[in-house]
Amino acid sequence: MTPLLMSWRCVPCCRSGLSWCVTRMITQTVLRGVHKKNKKKLINHSPAASWEERLSDVCTPLWRMEYKEQLKYKLEALQKVLRDLCLTVKERGGQLPDYNGLFCLLQEVLPSPVIYGYRNKSTFSVNLGPNGDPKTVGNYVGNERDRSIVCVRTDHLLNIPVKHKLVAKCYEDYIRQSPLPPCLHFRDEGHWHEIIVRTNSNGDVMAIFTFYTKHLPQDKVLSHILSLKEYFTHGPGSVCNLTSLYCQQKNPATNQISPPLLLHGSPHLTERVLGLDLRVSPTTFLQINTPGAELLYTALGNLVKNRSKSILFDVCCGTGVIGLSLAGQFQEVVGIELVDDAVCDAQWNMTFNGVENCQFLVGRAEKLLPKLLSERNNTEHVVAVVNPPRAGLHPHVVRALRNCENVRTLIFVTCKPEGEAGRNLTEPPCCSSTQKL
């Protein structure tokens, strides 16, 4: 994953034409991230490549390079992205300061403090392995369109912690001795499906397995779920020393998905990030590389120093990590998030850490943001930080941010600058109040 930050200072004239100023971009990198167009050049297409090599090419495309070479490669890849964005703006008649042909000033890549076993969350699928065993637990290699998907164990992957690999291996051992078949496709009759493993810096482990209930009476469902619980708590799987064990039931026949059910241990993990104790639920979004995330949030803080009289809007705030980490630098922080569970976690994090100048609201940013900005239109300086999913920001959110004259600084955090984030940053910046985007 390659998050990058963008400090975007809107100038008043941008509301009447294609003119704006992007001040800087900072990249923070870990082992994996690479753009798809360049990824093909790195993959070994030789038929002699082992399954392990093929999976490494999919999950950690830069694994053959020394880490210094990886950083250089990523910097060059981002330079190309910024050149393309600059050309897009100019083709649309826009104006940009001179950044040597780039969309903005690009700073050096910040290396990750940890480059091996850094993932705090891993998802393992169940499907046909290279030897044809349908109860293989790992990650996918191949193309679904070509019906060439193979599930390969992840024991060799450099970015997955040993504890995650151990849980995956124990889960595989259990389902192989189970009489129930796996669910290889949603339309199938099987039951055992993926398992998600989460860990924190203290070494606590949470596992969430998915069980398909199709055509099984509830007493049988319960029996198999409790059997797996016994395996992980008192059987051979107890070697994993799980802090939490959850089961999520799904019924493809009715499209019903039950909330994760706690079978054993604590309902949450706690992760410490920049002095904040954060609650991690089964569905919580947290940056995959915690030490790398701390670099990211520190860089964000450096972009917005001396803003004690300003308001921060944290759009797509998730569990509130960015807003909470910056709360000491602002008069008020307002977080907006679509997922209700994430807002509950954000509110818990705020209370537990004694932060008093934040509020977190659940809802669509495109619905809430215009009203919230208009209510604070007299505030001298508004800073907005957006950390949208890969689909980017809704056009109405972009319009609300650009039409609020007091939003003087926008920080755009994205793991995919060449995707929809680029569209958000280069599309025409204003529409009249009656014009639809």
> Architecture of 1-114+288-437 per CATH?
3-Layer(aba) Sandwich (3.40)
Q: Which pLDDT belongs to residue 154?
A: 98
Cα 264 from chain centre: 26
Q: Which pLDDT belongs to residue 40?
A: 55
Helix orientation angle between 365-375 and 395-403, rounded to the nearest 10 degrees: 10
* CA separation for the pair 160, 164 (Å, rounded): 7
Residue 135 tokens, joined: 């109860």
DSSP code string of 284-345: ----SBHHHHHHHHHHHHHHT-SEEEEEEEEET-TTSHHHHHHGGGEEEEEEEES-HHHHHH
Q: How many CB atoms lie within 10 A of CB 260?
A: 21
Q: Which pLDDT belongs to residue 155?
A: 97
* Helix%, strand%, coil% for the chain, nearest 5: 35, 25, 40
The residues spanned by each domain of the chain are 1-114+288-437, 121-270
* CA separation for the pair 18, 89 (Å, rounded): 8
SS3 at position 430: coil
Burial (Cβ within 10 Å: 0-12, 13-18, ≥19) of residue 434: exposed
Known binding residues for S-adenosyl-L-methionine are 287, 337, 387
Q: Where are the alpha helices (DSSP H) in 60-130?
A: 67-91
* CA separation for the pair 307, 408 (Å, rounded): 12
138 touches 125 (CB < 8 A): yes
pLDDT in tens, 202-260: 999 999 999 999 889 999 999 999 999 999 999 999 999 999 999 999 887 667 789 99
324 touches 373 (CB < 8 A): no
Q: Which pLDDT belongs to residue 270?
A: 95
Q: Which pLDDT belongs to residue 34?
A: 52
Residue 88 tokens, joined: 């897009």
Between strands 244-251 and 261-265, the pairing is antiparallel
- Could you tell me which residues are beta bridge partners of residue 271? 278
Residue 95 tokens, joined: 């104006």
Which residue type is seen at 180?
A: L
Known binding residues are 287, 337, 387
Q: Which CATH number is 121-270's, of 3.40.1050.10, 3.40.50.1460, 2.40.50.1070, 3.90.1150.10?
A: 2.40.50.1070
Nearest to 411 by CA among 288, 287, 308, 317: 317
- Which residues, at least 6 apart from 113, have a Cβ–Cβ distance to it below 8 Å? 291, 292, 295
Q: Which pLDDT belongs to residue 26?
A: 62
* CA separation for the pair 324, 344 (Å, rounded): 14
Spans of the chain, pLDDT less than 70: 1-48, 186-187, 253-254, 428-437
DSSP code string of 5-24: EEEEE--GGGGGSSB-EEEE
The residues annotated with a catalytic role in the active site are: 415
Could you give the C-alpha distances from 266 to 211, 262, 370, 382, in angstroms and in order?
Answer: 21, 8, 39, 39
Domains 1-114+288-437 and 121-270 share a fold: no
Residue showing tokens 């980017």: 392
Q: Is the pTM of this model over 0.75?
A: yes
